[in-house]
């Protein structure tokens, strides 16, 4: 990969796998004696090792957040991470990992369980968002980072940010919570349940043991992704992008029962692409994490979830996001204000639904950039005192 000096225009990207040899005690009670984490870093860690930003991925994300990997694939958040981008790798050292339980090289259902010599598959323990944060803390220690100037994540990534702010309040200066929620709604859970049932209904699923049998429940996984994909997009953008256009005919009036609507073709394409890259057990495991996440607690508990947090917060939502709507972000902001935290809330006008958090938008970029630049200034001012 090309490498340039600091303040250059080319991304400095490095991909590594680390084995965390310390036991990770999970919320479910099980301990992972050791676990592998694949991670990428972008930019330079300064001498004080305190200009580091952690990026937390969402349901289908991975360590590969920025730049091109060896296969030419561009990272999932390349729009925002890079030299002179909103998360400026000329200023910050950005760390992005694949969390345990997912399927891009870190320990998860599609890796080998050392105790059995077989794929973990459904023997992989149930995970909670806290477990990811505790594993990320171990990575932080292992790569000798002293703390994060910011932890940033969208969707499920935002949930990890919330947990970071209270589990390790002294190790995080700033939190950026994007298109997230304190907990899922019944409708969110319903869509996840359909996705899981799609996978489990596939005859190749074999109660989750497909990898050990050399099979892949790809039809079910494709369907699961299609269900998810609709909910990431707004009705507006679907209408604008596809409308009622049909393939191979100029006007809809010329269409017949053999003409496929472009939206159908697009969704089928998305499903088929996904089934080759993602692991079905990981999909089930991670959607369950989403469902179980409840930062607010029972309505009877009157919990003040952010009470222990010390960092500053930037909360961002998108107007057309119906999966995690601005109302969900409002609730996060309200909980922060209830315990007198320092919070900035940015609601972005967008017609692109939940997917907006991945897509270029000037106001969103500027908001992130200004917040992070100020974070750096304050930090430097503090250190020069």
Interface residue list for a copy of itself (CB under 8 A): 28, 126, 183-187, 189-191, 193-194, 197-198, 201-203, 219-220, 222-223, 226-227, 230, 233, 235, 238-239, 241-244, 251-253, 255-257, 261, 263-264, 267-268, 271, 288, 291-292, 294, 297-298, 300-301, 322
| 354 catalytically annotated | yes
User: What tokens does 247 get?
Assistant: 């393939």
> Residue 112: which region, alpha, beta or left (left: phi > 0; alpha: psi -120 to 50)?
beta
User: What tokens does 109 get?
Assistant: 């259902």
User: What tokens does 261 get?
Assistant: 């609507």
- The label of the residue with tokens 């990981």 reads 282
| 128 catalytically annotated | no
Residue with Cβ nearer a copy of itself (135 or 198): 198
Q: How far is CA 213 from the centre of its chain?
A: 30
Helix (H) or strand (E) holding 335: helix 326-338
CA atoms of 283 and 228, how far apart (whole Å) = 11
User: What tokens does 230 get?
Assistant: 């609709």
Q: Which of 155, 165, 175, 320 is catalytic?
A: 155
Query: Minimum distance between the CB of residue 41 and a copy of itself, rounded to whole angstroms?
Result: 33
- The label of the residue with tokens 């607010």 reads 296
- The DSSP bridge pattern shows strands 174-178 and 150-154 to be parallel
Strand partners, 19: 36
- DSSP classification of residue 73: P
Query: Minimum distance between the CB of residue 306 and a copy of itself, rounded to whole angstroms?
Result: 18
Query: Minimum distance between the CB of residue 352 and a copy of itself, rounded to whole angstroms?
Result: 14
User: What tokens does 250 get?
Assistant: 């100029």
Residue with Cβ nearer a copy of itself (50 or 113): 113
| 321 catalytically annotated | yes
Query: Minimum distance between the CB of residue 346 and a copy of itself, rounded to whole angstroms?
Result: 23
Contact (CB, 8 A) for 177 and 314: yes
Residue with Cβ nearer a copy of itself (79 or 320): 320
CA atoms of 317 and 348, how far apart (whole Å) = 6
Q: Which of 88, 131, 279, 321 is catalytic?
A: 321
In Å, how far are 193, 335, 341 from 76, measured between CA atoms?
25, 30, 31
Query: Minimum distance between the CB of residue 339 and a copy of itself, rounded to whole angstroms?
Result: 20
Strand partners, 299: none
Q: Which of 354, 355, 356, 361 is catalytic?
A: 354
CA atoms of 275 and 273, how far apart (whole Å) = 6
Q: Which residue, among 83, 85, 89, 81, has the nearest Cα to 64 in the 3D structure?
A: 81
- The DSSP bridge pattern shows strands 31-32 and 24-25 to be antiparallel
Query: Minimum distance between the CB of residue 215 and a copy of itself, rounded to whole angstroms?
Result: 13
CA atoms of 251 and 58, how far apart (whole Å) = 39
Q: How far is CA 31 from the centre of its chain?
A: 24
Query: Minimum distance between the CB of residue 167 and a copy of itself, rounded to whole angstroms?
Result: 17
Strand partners, 348: 318
CA atoms of 194 and 199, how far apart (whole Å) = 9
Query: Minimum distance between the CB of residue 26 and a copy of itself, rounded to whole angstroms?
Result: 11
Catalytic residues: 155, 321, 354
């Amino acid at each position: 990969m090309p490498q340039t000096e600091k303040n250059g225009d080319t991304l400095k990207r490095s991909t590594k796998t680390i084995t965390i040899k310390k036991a990770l005690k999970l919320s479910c009670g099980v301990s992972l004696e050791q676990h592998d984490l694949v991670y990428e870093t972008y930019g330079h860690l300064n001498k004080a090792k305190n200009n580091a930003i952690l990026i937390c991925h969402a349901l289908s994300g991975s360590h590969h957040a920025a730049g091109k990997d060896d296969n030419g694939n561009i990272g999932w958040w390349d729009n925002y991470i890079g030299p002179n981008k909103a998360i400026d790798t000329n200023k910050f050292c950005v760390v992005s990992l694949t969390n345990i339980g997912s399927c891009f090289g870190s320990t998860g259902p599609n890796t080998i369980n050392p105790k059995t010599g077989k794929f973990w598959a459904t023997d992989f323990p149930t995970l909670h968002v806290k477990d990811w944060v505790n594993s990320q803390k171990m990575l932080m220690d292992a790569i000798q980072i002293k703390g994060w100037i910011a932890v940033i994540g969208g969707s499920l990534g935002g949930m990890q940010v919330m947990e970071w702010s209270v589990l390790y309040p002294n190790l995080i200066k700033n939190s950026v919570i994007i298109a997230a929620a304190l907990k899922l709604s019944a409708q969110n859970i319903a869509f996840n349940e359909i996705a899981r049932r799609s996978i489990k209904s596939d005859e190749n699923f074999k109660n989750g043991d497909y990898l050990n049998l050399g099979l892949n429940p790809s039809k079910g996984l494709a369907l699961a992704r299609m269900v998810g994909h609709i909910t990431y997009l707004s009705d507006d953008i679907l209408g604008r992008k596809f409308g009622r256009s049909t393939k191979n005919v100029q006007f809809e009036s010329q269409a017949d029962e053999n003409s496929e609507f472009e939206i159908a073709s697009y969704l089928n394409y998305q499903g088929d692409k996904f089934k080759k890259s993602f692991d079905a057990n990981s999909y089930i495991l991670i959607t369950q994490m989403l469902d179980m996440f409840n930062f607010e607690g029972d309505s009877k508990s009157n919990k003040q979830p952010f009470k222990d947090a010390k960092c500053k917060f930037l909360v961002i939502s998108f107007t057309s996001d119906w999966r995690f709507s601005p109302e969900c972000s409002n609730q996060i902001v309200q909980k922060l204000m209830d315990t007198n935290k320092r919070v900035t809330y940015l609601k972005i006008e967008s017609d692109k639904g939940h997917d907006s958090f991945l897509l270029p938008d000037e106001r969103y970029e500027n908001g992130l950039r200004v917040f992070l630049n100020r974070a750096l200034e304050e930090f430097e001012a503090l250190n020069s005192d």
